[in-house]
Amino acid sequence: MSRSLPFGTEASAIIPRYYQDAATEALWRDMRDHSPVAVLPTGSGKSIIVAQLCQKTVDAGGRVIVLHPRKELIEQNAAECRTLMPGVDVGLYSAGLNSRHTDHAIVFAGIQSCFDKAHLFGSREVVIADECHLLPPDGEGRYRTFLHDLKALCPHSRFCGLTATAFRTGSGALCGPQNLLTKVAYTASVSRLMIEGYLCPIINRPMASELDTSGLKIVARTQEFDAGDSERLFDTEDNVTAAVAEIVSKTTDRHSVLLFCSGVKHAGHVADVLATLSGERVGLVTGETMPLERSNLLSMFKSGTLRWLVNVDVLTTGFNAQRIDCICVLRATASPGLFAQICGRGFRVHESKGNCLVLDLGQNIARHGPIDADDYGMPKPKQIRDNGMPSKECPACGEAQLIAAKVCTECGFEWPAKPRHDANADIESAILESQIEPTEYLVESATFSRHVKRDAPDAPNTLRIDYVCQLADSKGNLTKKNISEWVCVDHVGFPKRNAIKWWRERSLAELVEDEHGSLIDPAIDLWQRGAVVVASRLWVVPKGKFIQIVRQEITDERPEEWADEGEPGEEAFDPFEAVEVPF
């Protein structure tokens, strides 16, 4: 893949990052046969990708229209495009901005203003939808109308999208065979970009003033919590005072705090109490805020002269304030995409901050899980009891129990209590997978076997170890669980080196390839002969739909003696033959 040219003037050239180049190339390639999407976290620089796509199109003799759901994004992205591509013909089309450019080579347009006016823009070879997760699920409305009409004028036009969240609440994945967008062409990892320094790390702290949102009802039409019920829950004198007091006490080292509230009345209440308890000026932005006042408050907040900014459904998408080092969520949302967008306001890197603190008072982290999980936002299958209620499986007897059950009605197993406000976030409150506290298991037995990948029988086989474990803190309850790991002794390169290291930590016996050039059967044979010690404890974390072993404890010494070859030993078997494995 060729390296993209710098953007901007010679004095202030911007070199695209590797993932921006990769996303651009993936979209450009896949537009031939698909309507692709690039999924990149908030703050990762999607405007660079838009500019690269515009540049490629213009260089090829084509013209571009970039569709936006909100006027603020139109102005912001058009300005960035002009900066990145000085001298290029860039126009705006938005009734809200009182601008109606139609002849420019590149037009940034509001979908509300242009959806029934495709004929005004002439031939447009490339159509880009920014923040495309906001495409409506029911027929994709105005976007479909615009694209249909444009195809009549320009049959060879191509469509692609960019988003931080490739799914929609209620309707699931954004891409599908019958959808406007058909393929995810590229995904950038939140965790990787944080590790590499392109995004600001985020952390969270449990809140004593967190509210129980289990009683909130979801509206079928919007697939979101009922707004009135939500505001009534959060906007009581006691709840607001407790929440604001805790926020003030936990943000003494924070310099730019953005608060999301449940409604306009609630936001005003929070702003008043916050101003009283902090003794500082507090900005308030809602849909009712006058444009000039709103512009002034946002400018002060971005510059750092205003520390606190309270908002309601205004600054969830496209708001760029690099200094934000704390986000307070005083609302509940059933939308994983919206919650990811809220947290994404703190992803941008700035020299004034080392991380961004998320204070969640609406059980959103527990509801949606870590935002960097591979399956974040995707619908998860629910276990259903006979009465139709969601359930969970008892780890002792396997019977389905109500999701809120603390004691199994069949066997009496008691689920270990989780401290709701412990200083360390557990699996239900970790905002990143790397912050999940591992679960400890005691190993009762282990079995070695050969694993053949079902959908790729020609791929190298692996040595699989199946552990039968018991929950370490089960307090006497029988909580058996099967946990597996796969050791790549027949692979090459790093996996092979890692597998040999794994073996040497557990056995003094030398592994020698058999007549087929494999180490798997010799390893199984040595285990059967007692030449291998296995872990006595495992620590695991969820990894998507699988379980990942993150730590093992080996208490026994490696055996110095073992049975001779050919002596009877344990017969290797495969109790999990049908289990799907993560590779």
SS3 for 190-226 is HHHHHHCCCCCCEEECCCCCCCCCCCCCEECCCCEEC
Here the tokens at position 65 are 């229209």
- What is the per-residue pLDDT for 575? 39
Residue 564 makes CB contacts below 8 A (sequence gap 6+) with 529
- What is the per-residue pLDDT for 12? 46
Q: Which residue has the tokens 């009802």?
A: 217
Inter-residue contact 106 to 58 (CB < 8 Å): yes
98: left (phi over 0), alpha (psi -120 to 50) or beta: left
Residue 419 makes CB contacts below 8 A (sequence gap 6+) with 426
Radius of gyration of the chain (CA): 28
- What is the per-residue pLDDT for 480? 72
- What is the per-residue pLDDT for 138? 60
d(CA 43, CA 200): 9
Type of residue numbered 90? V
Residue 406 makes CB contacts below 8 A (sequence gap 6+) with 414, 415, 417
Q: What is the mean pLDDT of each run of 10 residues along the chain (583 residues)?
A: 46 77 95 93 90 92 90 80 83 89 93 92 93 72 90 92 79 81 92 89 92 91 90 97 97 97 97 97 94 94 97 86 96 90 92 94 90 74 45 57 65 53 44 80 92 79 91 65 89 86 94 93 94 93 77 91 70 42 40
The SS3 call for residue 574 is coil
- What is the per-residue pLDDT for 280? 97
Note the maximum CA span of the chain: 87
Top CATH class, 10-188: alpha beta
Here the tokens at position 312 are 């309601």
Inter-residue contact 55 to 86 (CB < 8 Å): no
The domain spans of the chain are 10-188, 202-367, 438-553
C-beta neighbour count of 526 within 10 angstroms: 25
d(CA 26, CA 41): 16
- What is the per-residue pLDDT for 424? 34
- What is the per-residue pLDDT for 388? 41
The SS3 call for residue 28 is helix
* 202-367: CATH number: 3.40.50.300
- What is the per-residue pLDDT for 494? 78
Residue 493 makes CB contacts below 8 A (sequence gap 6+) with none
d(CA 38, CA 40): 6
> Which residues face 129 on adjacent strands?
67, 161
- What is the per-residue pLDDT for 566? 66
